[in-house]
Structures are given as C-alpha cells and as structure tokens.
Amino acid sequence: MTEAVTADRSSAAPVVITTIAGMRAALAERRSGAEAPGPAEPVRVALVPTMGALHTGHVALVERAAEIADVVVVSIFVNPLQFTDPSDLERYPRDLEGDLAKLAGHGADIVFAPEVDELYPGGLTATRVTAGRVGGLFEGRSRPGHFDGVLTVVAKLLGSVGPDVVLFGQKDAQQVFLVQQMVTDLDMPVRVEVVETVRDYDELALSSRNRFLDERERRAAITLPHVLEAAESASDRGIDAVLAAAQSAAMGEQLVELDYLAIVHPDTFLPVDDGYTGKARVIIAAKVGDTRLIDNAAIYLGT
C-alpha cells in the first residue's frame, strides 16, 4: 500500500512516513500537482535533517523551511554511523511522539522516520562519503569517522527525499561546512540554507544534549558562550588577543574540560595564520561533567 500525504499545516501533527518508497511516492504525487484543481505550480520541497530529541532550535529550522518551501520534510533518524561510542548511541534520546507534538503547527508536513534497516538494509553500508582533511580536525579528531557517517547519511537522505533546499543550524559549524563542501564537490542539485544558532535565556546554545546537564553543570555550561563573547570583544586586537581573552574566560570553571578552542577561516575551516585579518569563526568544544558541548561565533579579526 502506497504511503501518501495530504499537506495541511494546520493539522495536529505531520504525516509520518517510514519507507524510502513511501517518501518518494508522496512527494511525486505532490510534485505532479495531483491535488491541485488547476494547472500545476512548481512544488518546492525543503528537508530538515534531525536525529530527533527536538528542541526550539530545530523548530526554528522547520519554521524557516515553511517560509521558503511548499512542502517541509523533517527527517528523524538516529544514525549509527556517526557515533564512535556505542554507549553514546544507546543513550541518545528517542521520543517520536514527543517530537511530533513539538512539530505540530510549525509548518512540518511530513516526518520521515525510517528504521535503521530501511536506510541500511544490508547492514551499515561499506560505501561512504569521506569528509576529507577538515573531517579529521576538531570534532573529527575527537570523534574519528564521525563526519564520514554524517555525510553518508545526509547523502542518503538527500537521495531519498530529493529536496530543493536542505536546512542546518549554525551551531554545528563544522558539519555545515562539510555538508556545503559535499554538495558542491558532488554537484548535488540542492541548496544548503544555514539558520543562526538559537540560544536559551542564559545564552547557552540549544542542544539535545543539554538535557543531560544537572543544575550545577548547566550553570557551568554558560562558560562556552562567555568564551565566545570574550573572543569577540578582543577581535579588533588580533588573533593573539582573541585567543588570550577566550582562554582566560575558559579558566576557573572546574566542571568544564576544554577539548579545543580555535579560530578558523570561514572558506576553508582551517586555522587562520598569525597576522590574519578578516572574517573568521571561533569554535569551541568542552565536556561539562559527562556531557560534550560545542559552540561557535563569527568574528572579524582586525580593525
């Protein structure tokens, strides 16, 4: 039986589709104009890839997608390829019903929620997209193979849905860079739109992992946005001043264990040279208790 969708953004919840064949059939029906009484208009499809455990940051992506597309697909799939620690994969929160409730009324038409054996029917695929040099730096150094897994599943989702535009949050800056690089290098017919990081009342970047922080750890976690603020405040004095200010802001909180702090060029995601002036991005990762968090901010080095 073919899975179909009737787009109604005022409905209580989006339609859930669990198979690639069903996903393609539903969108083919929409694109054919079968539901339109008159001549068919081009139907623009947006994809918001997620691993579930949705929060306000995800909702912002969906709302932006609804502004620029006729059909909004939100994928919910906990991708085993991008986890290097099996225990991290096991404890990743899964709550499809809760996620559907959070999406209701925000513009999502379809939730594509395949099981692992739907995307990887023969087991975890041997053919993978390689993230290259940048994929082994920063997050990739701490989580070997992570970005190969991310790019592989994003490529599979793009192939399954065939969207015109795919949306990601700026919080995952390295992921955004690598997805944009993949789309360009492999001539994929999709536009990548990046939505600014959504922050909580205390400026902590929203993340599905924030739920693992206890009260004391949550207070300590705001060290990350404080580091970025310190870096930005020193940006007119050059890279050495930025790093000194950022490192000073990172010190003194015992619950925060810094993994990396770097300043990268936005066009290459490689560390900028001493004396560089121009657009740059400060990136940070740290463990707060047992929870690993990342954040970043755009700065301009020099006057």
* Residues marked as catalytic: 58
List Cβ neighbours of 99 (8 Å cut-off, separation of 6 or more): 52, 53, 54, 76, 111
Residue 109: closest CA among 22, 194, 26, 1: 26
Nearest alpha carbon to residue 166 among 184, 178, 153, 180: 180
Do residues 216 and 190 lie in contact, with contact meaning Cβ atoms separated by under 8 Å? Answer: no
3-state secondary structure of 292: strand
Task: Kindly tell me the burial class for residue 47, based on how many C-beta atoms sit within 10 Å of its own C-beta (0-12, 13-18, 19 or more).
Answer: buried
Neighbours of 188 (CB within 10 A): 16
CA atoms within 13 Å, Cβ hemisphere of 158:
21
Lay out the sheet containing 278-288: strands in order across.
Answer: 256-264, 278-288, 291-301
Query: What DSSP element (H or E) covers 262?
Result: strand 256-264
- Report CA Rg, the chain: 20
- What CA–CA distances, in Å, run from 128 to 43, 61, 156? 30, 27, 10
